[in-house]
Amino acid sequence: MDNNHNLEALSLTLVEYVKGDFYGKTLALTSLLPLFLISSMATVIFIRRDLQTIFFFTGVILNELLNFILKTVYNQARPTFTGYHHRGVYSKAGMPSNHAQFVSFFAFYLSWFLVMKCETLKGWKILHIAVIWAPSVLCITSRVYLRYHTLEQVLSGMFFGFIFFLIWASLTSTVRPSYGKLTALPLCRFFLIKDTSKVKNITEFECECVHQFNLSINKKD
């Protein structure tokens, strides 16, 4: 009986770096950013049922689909370097970089949303945008530093992520006035999906609603 088996690594979360390279290890961790963002958005959607977040998440998924199509069309191999052989590469095609396209779309869209749609102090907006872009830039840098992509592949990923952001931002701006009608549909009512696009400060609004509700309950008691 043959006990030898061909083992395959779960490459979805496997990122390799040179042993002893602290900077490489840090960048390897930032390469997991897309997985963290997707799981976070899915959690937010499940808890809040907000139509704006659902549209954002839909854009993220379509951006991933676009990257898959582009990789199929370009069919450009990942770079090869002497002494580097990544066991965890689940896609042989490297053009454009999936990570670069993902975080570029995410960062551009969220930054645009904060600037154009959120009512908050300018200083806070700048801080939030910096928090968005800092890990995104590290994630993009990691793909070149860890030898998973060439600079050209990463730049092309950023380019396509930005182009799709422009398309999706334009589309959501067109659809946004109809959010109220969409949330009135039976399916949205069944899943308790709501429209908060007209609420200037959702945290303050929810806090005030809960406060008023508690006051009404206390008055009844």
Residue 150, C-beta contacts closer than 8 angstroms, at least 6 positions apart: 79, 94, 144
80 against 95, higher pLDDT: 95
DSSP annotation string for 106-130: HHHHHHHHHHHH--S-HHHHHHHHH
Q: Minimum mean pLDDT among 16-25, 115-124, 185-194: which range?
A: 115-124
* pLDDT for position 205: 78
101 against 83, higher pLDDT: 101
Report which residue type is found at 211: H
pLDDT at 86 over 50: yes
81 against 184, higher pLDDT: 184
Q: How many other C-beta atoms lie within 10 A of the C-beta of residue 153?
A: 25
Q: Per-residue confidence at 1, pLDDT binned at 50, 70, 90? A: very low
The whole-chain average pLDDT of the chain stands at 81
Q: Minimum mean pLDDT among 75-84, 176-185, 201-210: which range?
A: 75-84
Q: Minimum mean pLDDT among 2-6, 133-137, 173-177: which range?
A: 2-6
* pLDDT for position 171: 92
Q: What is the mean pLDDT of residues 182-201?
A: 83
What is the rounded distance in angstroms from the CA atom of residue 25 to the CA atom of residue 8?
22
Q: Per-residue confidence at 105, pLDDT binned at 50, 70, 90? A: very high
Q: Per-residue confidence at 161, pLDDT binned at 50, 70, 90? A: very high
70 against 115, higher pLDDT: 70
pLDDT at 88 over 60: no
Q: Per-residue confidence at 221, pLDDT binned at 50, 70, 90? A: low
pTM: 0.81
* pLDDT for position 7: 44
What is the rounded distance in angstroms from the CA atom of residue 77 to the CA atom of residue 71?
9
Contact between 169 and 88 (Cβ < 8 Å): no
H or E element at residue 6 = none
Q: Per-residue confidence at 65, pLDDT binned at 50, 70, 90? A: very high
pLDDT at 99 over 50: yes
